[in-house]
Structure 1
Amino acid sequence: MYFECVIITSRKFQVRKTMNLQNIIRKNIPYHNRNLSAAESFQKSIQVCILGCHTPLGRTTSLLMKQNPIISNLRMQGEQIVHNIAADLSHIDTKCTVQPFEGNSEVSRAVRSADIILFLPNDKLREDTPLVDRVLTEGRRIYEFTKECTIHAPRSVIVVAISPVSVSTPLVAHAFKQSHWYHPGRIIGSAAIAQVKVNSLVGRYQDLNPFICQVPIIGGPDIDLAVPLFSRAKPVEITDKAAEKLMANFRGVKEDDFPKISSRKDFTENCTLSEAFALNNMITTIGLGICGEQQAHYNAFVRSNTISTCQHLLTTVQFSRGGVVHNHGVPQLTKLELKMFEKAVLEIKEREEMAKEMIDFIEGKYDVPPFKSKDMEKKKILQQTVIRA
């Protein structure tokens, strides 16, 4: 009798459970969009400031942003020719207004009231310039721009697109930490050119429209540190064998040498048109997030506590009014992706230390940056001839 009662009660419980599930399914479950901003209402357009518009990349980026419907005001800072560029762009019949600011003395006026500030390179360096020399050339300029932003635009979202971004972004972050306005979600390193490149590679490989292809990227923002997750590509994932081939093409390495040689030394993409297109897409996504779009997701190099090895990491993030409001972190990886990710993380840590040393050098704590001294010692060792008995 005892066993029969248990069976009867268990059957009654199963019947009640199925009835409850049916009632839940029949009811319309309300869906509420979470407002991730502290303000109740969002703005309808944004103001963008570009620092470095006199370069070919700056001119092309300005042309695309002048036609961007979400941008209401474009502030262009650069050298003497920036007035001619602004006068030329002003004839385009779009709602976006253009304001030129000439010279570094006008940076303080250019960044005021801007929602997004874009740092562009000076374009006076060759494509094969070593990473150490590139940091020494651009470091002081980045530091001066950041100091002006801490005073005149402390709440703006700063997008760093000066190569190497893995050094420039921590440099901006350390400069902001010296003020009272540091916010990790407002300092963003651009991986836009890597995103566009990998999407086009996957689209051509699968004979699909690259516009509908989306490949998440982790690691670092530069080509030699970025790790595309081909196993999570959309709409169709990539097999492991094909992933090695695409990874080699993405890193600019011969297929036979990969993965023994994972990247080219001092490799920098010099693609002005595609990078301008990619930056415009990234600014559009950030602007949509500022204006209240709930699905404003993009790959960005931001401050992260996902792993303890390095402080900054390239992941997929969500944007809102305050900048980054959600970080999707690192998903499950394949064997190849994990191997590349481990190498990238160690290199990012070294470049973060390089940014700290550059800040100390600018502030007068060193006569020569330690990373420059190490580079000179390596060159001396390589130049020495080995004498064998």
Structure 2
Amino acid sequence: MFAARQAVGLFQRRAFSSTAANASKVAILGAAGGIGQPLSLLLKLNPRVSELALYDIVGAPGVAADISHVNTKSTVKGYGKGEAKEALKGSEIVLIPAGVPRKPGMTRDDLFNTNASIVRDLAKECAEACPDASILIIANPVNSTVPITAEVFKSKGVYNPKKLFGVTTLDVVRASRFISELKKTDPANESIVVVGGHSGATIVPLLSQSGSELKGEQLDEYVKRVQFGGDEVVKAKDGKGSATLSMAMAGARFAESLLKAAQGQKGVIEPTFVDSPLYKESHGVTYFASNVELGPNGVEKIHPVGDVTEYEQKLLDVCLKDLKGNIEKGEKFVKENP
């Protein structure tokens, strides 16, 4: 028992910076799913979270009862079908991992028809119950589900582009882990810049801006692994799941960064897929993932891509073409299915 308490304490010290003077209510929509459960546990361990609201159409009260026994101060409550607004009321941050997972051979875009409707309906609940909350979209395909959420909020007259985020943190986590394996370094000391979107060829790692260099076939293989790393997990799970645990870790990391910034910490930067006037003007895409400085009101500053190599520019050209189509698909869905 003593060893278990030590382990929990050690995890908390490593995963989260420090106990905050301020604390926040966080809601998770889709809390009983493959991502939702480990995400709920990680946020229960976060000292910056004072109240955790877990919603799903089935199973959330059970998840809430389970993690409520974890010995941290935050309170936890589960909500079932028809109780989304109650769960969302007063939330400062909402994470949406709800949706169906990928199966073998599926791309994130293949998930569109099912997940688009789920995200649209949950976005409506958020727009009505907590329009000022920061909304973190995890449900794939993020390149389309973020625009879907934005269009719903616009239709309700409550859209704030500074508070809508597509969680692309896992792309950076993978890129950093994979380069560390090649360089034989500590992955904690690697931080690869990844821009674009969150699906296949729209994911663009920029090694030239990250103090690392690969060439030829090794570079091609590295880029492909970063772009399609999720396929490794789907294959390894033999079609019975996708990247749930690593995605939960990435979602918890982004939520922690947002909480730190909201509670006054300066210089908090995370990669994220956001409404980006900078890239709309320069590249013709409304949403783009890049390093974003976070603040008390959400997006504080969007960092430009900067100089890239000829190889990286070719990757960006493909990314932008695909990304534009993904975004338009999401916007079109809401117009045709309000």
State the TM-score, normalizing by the size of structure 2: 0.85
In 2, are the aligned partners of 1:191 and 1:222 still within 8 Å (CA)? no
Q: What fraction of aligned residue pairs are identical, expressed as a percent?
A: 23
In the alignment, the residues of structure 1 paired with residue 144 and residue 199 of structure 2 have an alpha-carbon distance, to the nearest angstrom, of 10
Instruction: Choose from 154, 166, 169 the match for 2:131.
Output: 154
- Residues 127 and 99 of structure 1, relative CA distance in 2, 3 Å threshold: farther
Instruction: Choose from 261, 274, 284 the match for 1:289.
Output: 261
| Aligned equivalent of 2:24 | 46
| Aligned equivalent of 2:173 | 196
Report the alpha carbon displacement of residue 131 of structure 1 after superposing the two structures with TM. 5.2
Select between 136-145 and 280-289 the one with higher mean Cα deviation. Answer: 136-145
In the alignment, the residues of structure 1 paired with residue 285 and residue 194 of structure 2 have an alpha-carbon distance, to the nearest angstrom, of 17
In the alignment, the residues of structure 2 paired with residue 88 and residue 252 of structure 1 have an alpha-carbon distance, to the nearest angstrom, of 34
| Aligned equivalent of 1:69 | 47
Q: Does residue 244 of structure 2 align to residue 272 of structure 1?
A: yes
Report the alpha carbon displacement of residue 49 of structure 1 after superposing the two structures with TM. 0.5
The residue identity in structure 2 corresponding to 1:292 is G
- Residues 282 and 173 of structure 1, relative CA distance in 2, 3 Å threshold: same
| Aligned equivalent of 1:86 | 64
- Residues 43 and 324 of structure 1, relative CA distance in 2, 3 Å threshold: farther
Report the alpha carbon displacement of residue 129 of structure 1 after superposing the two structures with TM. 3.5
Instruction: Give the alignment of 1:158-177 within 5 angstroms.
Output: 158-177=135-154
- Residues 111 and 304 of structure 1, relative CA distance in 2, 3 Å threshold: same
In the alignment, the residues of structure 2 paired with residue 127 and residue 98 of structure 1 have an alpha-carbon distance, to the nearest angstrom, of 35
| Aligned equivalent of 2:112 | 135
Q: Does residue 34 of structure 2 align to residue 59 of structure 1?
A: no
Instruction: Choose from 168, 172, 183 the match for 1:206.
Output: 183
In the alignment, the residues of structure 2 paired with residue 297 and residue 341 of structure 1 have an alpha-carbon distance, to the nearest angstrom, of 22
**SS in structure 2 of the partner of residue 56 of structure 1:** coil
The residue identity in structure 2 corresponding to 1:191 is T
Question: 5+ residue gaps in structure 2?
Answer: 1-19, 230-240
CA-to-aligned-CA distance 1:329-368 (integer Å, 9 cap, x gap) = 11111111110111111111111111122112213xxxxx
In the alignment, the residues of structure 2 paired with residue 239 and residue 133 of structure 1 have an alpha-carbon distance, to the nearest angstrom, of 32
- Residues 149 and 295 of structure 1, relative CA distance in 2, 3 Å threshold: same
In 1, are the aligned partners of 2:26 and 2:52 still within 8 Å (CA)? yes
In the alignment, the residues of structure 2 paired with residue 127 and residue 73 of structure 1 have an alpha-carbon distance, to the nearest angstrom, of 37
The residue identity in structure 2 corresponding to 1:48 is V
**SS in structure 1 of the partner of residue 319 of structure 2:** helix
- Residues 239 and 308 of structure 1, relative CA distance in 2, 3 Å threshold: closer
- Residues 130 and 278 of structure 1, relative CA distance in 2, 3 Å threshold: closer
In 2, are the aligned partners of 1:190 and 1:300 still within 8 Å (CA)? yes
In the alignment, the residues of structure 2 paired with residue 131 and residue 350 of structure 1 have an alpha-carbon distance, to the nearest angstrom, of 14
| Aligned equivalent of 1:230 | 207
Report the alpha carbon displacement of residue 222 of structure 1 after superposing the two structures with TM. 2.3
Structure with higher Rg: it is 1
Runs of 4+ in 1 over 4 A off after TM superposition: 130-133
In the alignment, the residues of structure 1 paired with residue 320 and residue 53 of structure 2 have an alpha-carbon distance, to the nearest angstrom, of 36
The residue identity in structure 2 corresponding to 1:336 is Y
Instruction: Give the alignment of 1:337-348 within 5 angstroms.
Output: 337-348=312-323
In the alignment, the residues of structure 2 paired with residue 231 and residue 132 of structure 1 have an alpha-carbon distance, to the nearest angstrom, of 29
- Residues 245 and 133 of structure 1, relative CA distance in 2, 3 Å threshold: closer
Instruction: Choose from 278, 282, 286 the match for 1:311.
Output: 286
In the alignment, the residues of structure 1 paired with residue 109 and residue 271 of structure 2 have an alpha-carbon distance, to the nearest angstrom, of 26
**SS in structure 1 of the partner of residue 321 of structure 2:** helix
| Aligned equivalent of 1:183 | 160
The residue identity in structure 1 corresponding to 2:69 is H
| Aligned equivalent of 2:15 | none
What is the total number of aligned residue pairs between the two structures? 304
**SS in structure 1 of the partner of residue 32 of structure 2:** coil
Q: Does residue 243 of structure 2 align to residue 243 of structure 1?
A: no
Report the alpha carbon displacement of residue 171 of structure 1 after superposing the two structures with TM. 0.8
